[in-house]
Structure 1
Amino acid sequence: MEFLVLGPLEIRRDGRDRQVTGRLRRVLLGVLLARANRVVPVDVLTGALWGDRFDVRAGQRLHLHIHRLRDVLGEPDRLSFGPDGYQLRVLPGEVDADRFETLVGEGAELAGGDPRGAVDVLRRALALWRGAPFAEMDVPLLDDWRHRLSERLLVAYEALYEAELACGAGAAVIGELTGLVREHPLRERLHALLMVALYRSGRQSEALAAYREVRNRLVEELGLEPGRELRELERCMLAGEPVAVGGVARPQVVAPAQLPGDVPGFVGREAELAELDALLSGGGTAPVVVAGTAGVGKTALVVRWAHRAREAFPDGQLYVDLRGYGPDHPMEPEDALAGFLRALGLEGSAIPQDVGERAARFRTLVDGRRLMVVLDNARSVEQVRPLLPGSANCAVVVTSRDALAGLVAREGAHRLGLDRLPVGEARELLGEVLGDRVAAEPAAAETLIERCARLPLALRIAAELARSQPARGLADLAGELADQQEALDLLDIDGDPFTAVRAVFSWSYRRLEETAARVFRLLGVHPGHDTDAYAVAALAGAGLRATRRVLDVLARAHLVDRTSGGRYQQHDLLRAYAAELAASTDGAGEREAALDRLRDYYLSTVAAAMDVVAPHESFRRPKAPAWDGDAPSLHAHDHGLRWLDAERANLLETTRHSGPEFTIDAGQTIWRYLDIGGYTDELITVCTRGLRAAEVNGDLLGEAFSRTRLGLALNRIGRDIEAAIEHLRRALAIYERAGEAELQATVLNNLGIVYGRRGELAQAADQFKRALELNGPTGPWTLRRSALVNTSHCLKGLGRFEEALSHVRDALELCEKNGDETNESNALIAIAELCLITGRDDQAREHAGRGLALARKTGFRGVESDCLRLLGTLSRRDGDHGAALRHHDEALTIARAVGATETVVESLNELAATHAAAGHPARSLRLHGEAMEVAEKAGRRRALADTHAGIAAVRAALGEHDTARGHWRRALDLYEALGLPQAADMRTRLGASETTRN
């Protein structure tokens, strides 16, 4: 039997369609299908059929229509009656709307890797539609379902045309998209797809006209500018850039590809490359250590090999410069692991804090994957050891000036000693740059090679200098180099190899025009590892165009290297030399003035970036210094975010080397970016530095700010919660003494969050209440919105559902009024959860669906996980265990990536409950066990109580009543200690269990 609702309501039996005649019978069947496999109370059915009109015969009339509907069904036992109402039994796949949802889900899964397959599946899904569902039925229960189906239809169309465009079918879909846009003129994604189709068909002017048309409509009808997706498409089209299918795509985890660019002009080293091939190309071997002196070409060799061998490692390549010997602080292994974990798809807040835990998570993520791991410029075995994967499929190559004997002894690493270039290969390297001049003056070339100690770094710089002076003979140049230093054979002496190449650096540096020489020196002053032209211009106090010309001169001289994304960095020997020159040439006042300009540039540009990344919080940030120099244009969210990502490490290093004022202002400006990006390490670092700086300066408000953010960061990672509370309490005391009511409210809100996550809901609710009172009706709406949502969560946990619903609806209204789509999704899922608890499943499904769409649009992955989890629970209630498992699996995957402890525990418990319902108790208990481990480790007592309750339910269903009672008692103890209403339910279950036993 099939039930067809995607058009006129019909029943199909034995391949024959049977229309359901009579409006009342269609309504009756529709309501029963909307709640298939669930008991529908009689009053719900009579209300749907006849409204609120009182009729003493309503029950009899309903029974008559039930009887006639059974005749239409042809299987009377399909529609049963019990003490609580009627239930229609529907098997999986019998409703065309369910098949439609399944096909749309399959199409979405195929879209990333097989867009042609996605097109086929999605067109099959759309072919199920025969018209408008439940036409001419004005029934609220059916209205909800109809609206949800109509929304899913549009989502399916959008997915279809996105896949079509990915297949290159631009012109072919313009007509269909034009019709859809005409039917749904305010649907921005459809407009975006039409713009892409036009643009890719060579119709740029029409694509831009389509943008202007939708913009005018949105402004006139809604008073709103187009969203980020449409604005970014217009920008790309105006700039003549490629455009993404469907605009801004959802982030996807891809195989990392972190290798630096291949080395241009690489020569020789064939024996070493062959040895690396033999040792590493197949994976499954011990690490290889490429050891040799500074400037000998270790990185160039390994990068060249890695590019040649990358096809053997289809799961990606990880690369990190450990900065073991540069003027910077060597990179800590926990920081390198954080970068690897992010590259492997783990979001910042999910990254453990302990270096051992990070290493374990890294080994887990790479297990079974064929990855290449390049650990460049390592200083010690201790720096390398935590970064070694446990998988036999991974190849690891390490470069270091040290032999890393401990790695050889303990991990069985192979050591490849890299000596200076053989004379023939050194001659070939010179010939790559100087051509026939090497053959014309062979003796002079040999002298130059020896003067450069056959080091590739020195040879490249010397060759470039010679190339820039074509009128001079090589013998003359080699003699000049000899005057700088009698011999470079000092390289063979145990000591600093930097002295051996100083002559070559000096020889090249002295040829620079003063402007270029000054910029070279200033690169040694910059506190970061790499930089861009804007920052260099700020250091130099020069214009961007002139700075880029100078950087080009330095790049041609091999005194600086260009990297991807228009950035620049120096070999660590060159950077140390530049810093030494700056210290000896430029006065301390001049160096500090350059750094002051850099700090002003950074603060000004960070503020501009935050204005587009977190515009609703601009009023809370310190005033940025005036900056009249060149700066990047950061008018779009993505631009600001990309700039912050690129400069994050430099900004943190600048706070390390700056005075209190900069450190405090930088922390107060950038903290929200670090918070939402999950860069918890960096957030704790910058707030700790800000706290110390504020204490040095006697800046009480700065101290309170840093303590507030530190408290939140420590609470989020579940580490040292008592310290988190102490930070917040001390911040609150400072704001109270200062009479800062608004800031007091902020801290109270944050304290409430900490108490709530510990399960102390009454205490949390009290903090939120005080925050709302202090904020008042004229305080920032963002704080009111946050406190309202948080209060709602507490009231829900305390069983005060209607109060909770009232609070979160007020928050939703604030979000809608202020265009805050990110937090609108958060409010929607809060409403959905309350609807679920109170038995309003249709409303729960509607709000969760809207919340999911907004969460995906805005990238709010935590809310995306919550929405999927709730939709999975609804599917489980409906008896659709397959859909429930899919939703819960996806929710758990996202929760683990995001790393919020409560989200992970809730997702594990819901997935466990679904497996239990689907008849998989062993799998259910394993998931509950994992949830218990996470909750116990983070000190989340409420989540731990829920987990014990879940385990008890599974054990009881298995007949293991003694074990079940033990878990119910532990849950009861926790609920009672926290003062939560769930304690009553635990007592009831324990009482019933005891009665059964007796």
Structure 2
Amino acid sequence: MEFRVMGPVEVRCDDRAEVLSGRLQRTLLGVLLARANQPVPVDVLTDALWGDQPGPRAPQKLQLHVHRLRGLLDTPDRLSFGETGYRLRAGQDEVDAGRFDALVKTGTATSEREPQRAIESLRAALALWRGEPFADVEVPVLADWARRLAERRLTAVEALYEAELACGLHEAVLGELTDLVREHPLRERLHELLMTGLYRAGRRSEALEAYRAARHALVSELGLEPGPELRELQRRILADDLPEPGPEPSADRRDVPAQLPVDVRGFVGREAELAELDGLPATVVITTLAGTAGVGKTALAVHWAHRVRARFTDGQLYVDLRGYGPDEPVSPADALAGFLRALGLDGAAIPEDLDERAARFRTLVDQRRILILLDNARTVDQVRPLLPAGSSCRTVVTSRDSLAGLVARYGAHRIDLDRLPAADAVELLHDLLGARADAEPEAVGALAERCARLPLALRIAAELVRSRPGQAIRELAGELADRQDALDLLAADDDPHTAVRAVFSWSYQRLDPAVARLFRLLGVHHGHDVDAHAMAAMAGSGLRETRRALDVLVRAHLVDQPSAGRYQPHDLLRAYAAELAEATDDATGRAAALTRLCDYYVGTASAAMDLIAPHEAKRRPKVASPGSESPVFGSYDAAFGWLDRERANLLATTQHGEPDHVVNVSDTVWRYLHIGGYRDDAFALHTRALHAAQALGDLAAEANARRVLGVAAHRVGLNVQAIDHLERALALYQQVGDQSLLAVTLSNLGAVTRRHGNLSDAADLIRRALALHEELGDKSQQAAATNNYALILHALGRYDEAFGLLEQSLAIARDNGDRNVEITVLCGMSEINTELGRAHQALDYARLALSVAQDAGHRPFQGTAIRMIGIALREGGEHEEAISHLDTALHIARTAGDTAQLIPALNGLAATHTSAGNPAKALSLYLEALTVEDGPRIFLENAHTYAGIGDAHAALGEHDQAAEHWQRALTIYRRLGTPQADVVAAKLAVSPSSTDGASRDCAPPRCG
């Protein structure tokens, strides 16, 4: 037996809802449950049912209602009568409020030490909540219990989000917290949680703005300043002194994505579909939700995903494939790039080929419990590469298409969604409209049918009803019927039931002109989600005015808020907005809005880059200031965070903007894309910029595009392409007479040539670069070239000269704020100290490099610094700690996909295993290093690999194999002219394979 009071009062027996005959019977049951297992006096029941006018037959009527209620119970003796009144017997687990209290108690008790367990308990508790307690019963005797339950629910919500923040799920809960703060502006704990989540998501300025909003609400409503906890939190955010939650995650839990959109508020119905999803056997790993536009496929998928996400302990992945929106659908390659990045791969590690990406994705999710939600798919081909291979993951796909190929080939289970049943559509309107719906039940039913029983249309219609309190629902329903005949139908798949343009129009026509214009501009914007700053730029209006307009659109359900501060219309509404814009606004006006948007994005990006790479400010294009109301970046992290959030929108403008805009974006953000490892975006943008420059006949712009394409190609080991682009860039810079960038390109070409194994030519190129910098008096660009030349001297064994150049380079880099060069130089200083046997000094430089890399958010460079820490520890004899650091460095190198880092990481870890007495393990790592790149192996790290393989074989007593690999290493060392040649030659001279009985106790060269 189950009793429900958290929502409408219900009785359920064997999963069947019993019908309570009316308000009096629901009131009787509610009062008895409020004092379950205790006698309730007759006069208390009589007063609850009939108030102060019970009438002369009240006792007999009460007996009749008790008799009817007994008939609904599993056993009549549950409700008994004694001397002091009626008593209803019910266990705590039989009443939803009792189960709710028990789950909340468990959740709050475990939130600090076991936040994941707390999340599961609190989510289960909140899932019991179906609406306001005793929603269909209004009697004073139940009011206190209802208020206590509502307060308990808010406490549970706060505890839930505190636990989720403790688990690092800040991105997943920000949207929900924003909604709750809007609903409960005077609840300080919710403001604290929102501020904490925003700060941990790298959105410090928004966290401080949230504090200002909280203070304004408290002062204006209560006349009180925020409490000490909220003020202390603001102080710590200002000081960047807010600790991260909990202990550092273990290596196998580092990359746990939590990408689900915000759960649907006021979700109604679909109980059969939810039960079907819950009841699917473990062998069904793919489920498709198919149905027409606006029928609620995404809402159902997201709602179910939130209900079960605790079962998927390794995370949740989500992508909107945009199969039916006005923009181009998301390609499988781009979707996979996003998934791989969420799973921990840096951009450079993401394979170029679609099949390779799919294979890497299947490898990463194998044996992991991950929920994958592929939303709004258009075709089977769009979905197929995104499917995992094993049975540990669950994939849910939503589409307007039936996707029969997934069923036939992969055994997917398809659930077809029809429009909401009439009862559910009416229930949704009742939930949204409250008492007004109760007063006009027939009109509510008519309105549901006018909206084709589509959830999207129902929510918009309900908001219009609420916005016109003086008008009857039946009048509005009639008005909609008239409009529906007069307007064209927005139909999908020729199904007249998907006609929702009339509902959209009904809502749109009541918008103020400025708000209506902003809605139309959402159809002009080519990105996905957008913030208020960008929309203000498009509209040419103030930020406050724009935010107010967006809030109106959100309340009208014409725009969603997928996360805090972001706005996104449903694809049907975006299409409708685009259609309105074309019909209402002239082409000149639309083009001007896009121009303002492009100017805003590139101007704000340039301001962000001034913090990220201040030393390159003079080389960036001169673009208009984004204006006084644009985001203000108080730190490197804030600037980088903005670029991460707006990257997709910024790059989308280059697909539709003028050629000079494309060139400006490429020249502005290339360094950010390089640091972040956004390889696909970098190649796409810079190639687009190359074509734009050629179309403009702008030789300088073409040279810039080729230079950054060369750097991007070098990063991923495409050295032939890199050299081609850089050599063409050199010729163009010579042609246009840009000596400064000619010098930069010479240094870049020297770095690629050094990696290709030609130290002499590389040294010539970099010396030319340094001479040009000196001639121009251009100190700001000398740091990188000086560092590149020091690397060559280091390779040649000229350690003192190399160290002196590194000191010069470090000073210049610090003066310029060039963190990339600073990290590289510090790692080089550590390596030279290691070569010279100064392990303590090497460790100091490496740890300083790691600190700078962490501050800069440069993960590949963090791996380099950690590798140097490991090598310094090995040289100091601390093998166990050295192996731990080198394992971490190898993990970062693999996820970064940068061969320039991966081979040294493998070599360093292998050499440490040999030194620690495990040469067999070392051999497997060295052999992996040999497979990293194809083609001739003539550069220095390959020689170190061969030398290390020789050392490992020698340690195993396999002297012939040792001599063979030492000889290969010696050939390369001699060709390069490096000092390791003498060390390896000495080993060969005393090797038992060439001299019987000779000692092989020879120290290995320092090449790890």
Q: Pick the TM interval, shorter chain.
A: 0.7 to 0.9
- Output the CA distance in 1 between the equivalents of 2:268 and 2:487: 22
Q: Residue type of the partner of 2:448?
A: I
C-alpha change, 1:250 and 1:872, in structure 2 (3 Å) is same
1:225-264 alignment, distance < 5 Å: 236-237=234-235, 243-245=241-243, 253=254, 255-264=256-265
Report if aligned partners of 1:935, 1:944 keep a CA contact under 8 Å in 2: no
2:843 is matched with 845
Q: Residue type of the partner of 2:401?
A: D
Q: Secondary structure at the match of 1:425?
A: helix
1:274 is matched with 275
Give CA deviations for 1:112-140 in whole Å, capped at 9, x if unaligned: 9999xxxxxxxxxxxxxxxxxxxxxxxxx
- Output the CA distance in 1 between the equivalents of 2:572 and 2:323: 12
> Is the counterpart of residue 570 in structure 1 residue 583 in structure 2?
no
- Output the CA distance in 2 between the equivalents of 1:489 and 1:522: 22
What displacement does 1:743 show?
Answer: 0.9
What displacement does 1:382 show?
Answer: 2.0
What displacement does 1:941 show?
Answer: 4.2
Q: Secondary structure at the match of 1:813?
A: helix
2:519 is matched with 520
1:882-893 alignment, distance < 5 Å: 882-893=880-891
C-alpha change, 1:876 and 1:249, in structure 2 (3 Å) is closer
Give CA deviations for 1:889-913 in whole Å, capped at 9, x if unaligned: 1222232233321211111112112
Q: Residue type of the partner of 2:483?
A: Q
What displacement does 1:884 show?
Answer: 2.2
> Is the counterpart of residue 953 in structure 1 residue 960 in structure 2?
no
Report if aligned partners of 1:498, 1:573 keep a CA contact under 8 Å in 2: no
Report if aligned partners of 2:757, 2:938 keep a CA contact under 8 Å in 1: yes
1:766 is matched with 764
Report if aligned partners of 2:347, 2:679 keep a CA contact under 8 Å in 1: yes
Report if aligned partners of 2:943, 2:970 keep a CA contact under 8 Å in 1: yes
Gaps of 5+ in 1: 1-111, 116-165, 167-195, 197-232
C-alpha change, 1:413 and 1:943, in structure 2 (3 Å) is farther
Q: Secondary structure at the match of 2:500?
A: helix
Report if aligned partners of 2:489, 2:501 keep a CA contact under 8 Å in 1: no
Q: Residue type of the partner of 1:482?
A: A
What displacement does 1:497 show?
Answer: 7.4
What displacement does 1:770 show?
Answer: 0.8
Give the stretch that moved more between structures: 919-928 or 590-599: 919-928
Report if aligned partners of 1:299, 1:399 keep a CA contact under 8 Å in 2: yes
1:755 is matched with 753
So what's the TM-score if we normalise by structure 1? 0.73
What displacement does 1:385 show?
Answer: 2.0
1:866 is matched with 864
Q: Residue type of the partner of 2:276?
A: E
Give the stretch that moved more between structures: 635-644 or 693-702: 635-644
C-alpha change, 1:879 and 1:610, in structure 2 (3 Å) is closer
> Is the counterpart of residue 455 in structure 1 residue 454 in structure 2?
yes
What displacement does 1:473 show?
Answer: 2.6
Report if aligned partners of 2:489, 2:500 keep a CA contact under 8 Å in 1: no
User: RMSD across aligned C-alpha pairs, in angstroms?
Assistant: 3.1
1:800-949 alignment, distance < 5 Å: 800-818=798-816, 820=818, 823-936=821-934, 941-949=939-947
- Output the CA distance in 1 between the equivalents of 2:923 and 2:320: 43
What displacement does 1:352 show?
Answer: 2.7
- Output the CA distance in 2 between the equivalents of 1:980 and 1:241: 49
Decide which of 741, 744, 754 is 2:739's aligned counterpart. Answer: 741
- Output the CA distance in 1 between the equivalents of 2:773 and 2:591: 42
Report if aligned partners of 2:285, 2:393 keep a CA contact under 8 Å in 1: no
Decide which of 793, 796, 800 is 2:794's aligned counterpart. Answer: 796
Report if aligned partners of 2:284, 2:411 keep a CA contact under 8 Å in 1: no
Q: Residue type of the partner of 1:355?
A: L
Q: Secondary structure at the match of 2:567?
A: strand
> Is the counterpart of residue 688 in structure 1 residue 704 in structure 2?
no
What displacement does 1:786 show?
Answer: 0.7
Q: Secondary structure at the match of 1:448?
A: helix
- Output the CA distance in 2 between the equivalents of 1:670 and 1:446: 54
Give the stretch that moved more between structures: 829-838 or 731-740: 829-838
Q: Residue type of the partner of 1:387?
A: L
Decide which of 724, 742, 762 is 1:726's aligned counterpart. Answer: 724
Q: Secondary structure at the match of 1:415?
A: strand
Question: Percent same amino acid among aligned pairs?
Answer: 54
1:318-717 alignment, distance < 5 Å: 318-486=317-485, 494-495=493-494, 500-628=499-627, 630-717=629-716
What displacement does 1:536 show?
Answer: 0.9
Q: Residue type of the partner of 1:688?
A: T
Q: Residue type of the partner of 1:956?
A: A
- Output the CA distance in 2 between the equivalents of 1:327 and 1:933: 44
- Output the CA distance in 2 between the equivalents of 1:701 and 1:498: 56
C-alpha change, 1:946 and 1:307, in structure 2 (3 Å) is same
C-alpha change, 1:431 and 1:506, in structure 2 (3 Å) is same
Q: Residue type of the partner of 1:886?
A: S
Give the stretch that moved more between structures: 535-544 or 828-837: 828-837
C-alpha change, 1:880 and 1:537, in structure 2 (3 Å) is closer
C-alpha change, 1:671 and 1:284, in structure 2 (3 Å) is farther
Q: Secondary structure at the match of 2:396?
A: strand
- Output the CA distance in 1 between the equivalents of 2:552 and 2:317: 31
Q: Residue type of the partner of 1:469?
A: R
Report if aligned partners of 1:892, 1:907 keep a CA contact under 8 Å in 2: yes
- Output the CA distance in 1 between the equivalents of 2:541 and 2:356: 46
Q: Secondary structure at the match of 1:995?
A: coil
Report if aligned partners of 2:288, 2:413 keep a CA contact under 8 Å in 1: yes
What displacement does 1:402 show?
Answer: 1.5
- Output the CA distance in 1 between the equivalents of 2:680 and 2:937: 20
What displacement does 1:810 show?
Answer: 1.6
1:271-310 alignment, distance < 5 Å: 271-279=272-280, 285-310=284-309
Q: Residue type of the partner of 2:770?
A: L
Give the stretch that moved more between structures: 412-421 or 631-640: 631-640
Q: Secondary structure at the match of 1:255?
A: coil
Give CA deviations for 1:185-236 in whole Å, capped at 9, x if unaligned: xxxxxxxxxxx9xxxxxxxxxxxxxxxxxxxxxxxxxxxxxxxxxxxx9994
Give CA deviations for 1:687-729 in whole Å, capped at 9, x if unaligned: 111111110111110000000000110111123x222211111
Report if aligned partners of 1:610, 1:670 keep a CA contact under 8 Å in 2: yes
1:130-209 alignment, distance < 5 Å: none
What displacement does 1:659 show?
Answer: 0.7
Give CA deviations for 1:263-286 in whole Å, capped at 9, x if unaligned: 111100011111111227xx6642
Report if aligned partners of 2:465, 2:473 keep a CA contact under 8 Å in 1: yes
Q: Residue type of the partner of 1:407?
A: L
- Output the CA distance in 1 between the equivalents of 2:868 and 2:779: 28
Q: Residue type of the partner of 2:549?
A: V
- Output the CA distance in 2 between the equivalents of 1:421 and 1:756: 66
Report if aligned partners of 1:369, 1:391 keep a CA contact under 8 Å in 2: no
- Output the CA distance in 2 between the equivalents of 1:880 and 1:793: 27
Give CA deviations for 1:758-777 in whole Å, capped at 9, x if unaligned: 22222222211111001116
What displacement does 1:992 show?
Answer: 4.3
Give the stretch that moved more between structures: 561-570 or 706-715: 561-570
- Output the CA distance in 2 between the equivalents of 1:391 and 1:270: 29
Q: Secondary structure at the match of 1:485?
A: helix
Q: Secondary structure at the match of 1:329?
A: coil
Give the stretch that moved more between structures: 539-548 or 352-361: 352-361
Report if aligned partners of 2:743, 2:772 keep a CA contact under 8 Å in 1: yes
Report if aligned partners of 2:236, 2:242 keep a CA contact under 8 Å in 1: no
- Output the CA distance in 1 between the equivalents of 2:545 and 2:399: 37
Q: What is the aligned length?
A: 770
C-alpha change, 1:714 and 1:938, in structure 2 (3 Å) is farther
C-alpha change, 1:376 and 1:510, in structure 2 (3 Å) is same
Q: Residue type of the partner of 1:550?
A: A
- Output the CA distance in 1 between the equivalents of 2:256 and 2:485: 50
- Output the CA distance in 2 between the equivalents of 1:235 and 1:264: 29
Q: Secondary structure at the match of 2:782?
A: helix
What displacement does 1:413 show?
Answer: 1.5
Q: Secondary structure at the match of 2:280?
A: helix
Q: Secondary structure at the match of 2:561?
A: strand
What displacement does 1:819 show?
Answer: 5.6
Report if aligned partners of 1:901, 1:938 keep a CA contact under 8 Å in 2: no
So what's the TM-score if we normalise by structure 2? 0.72
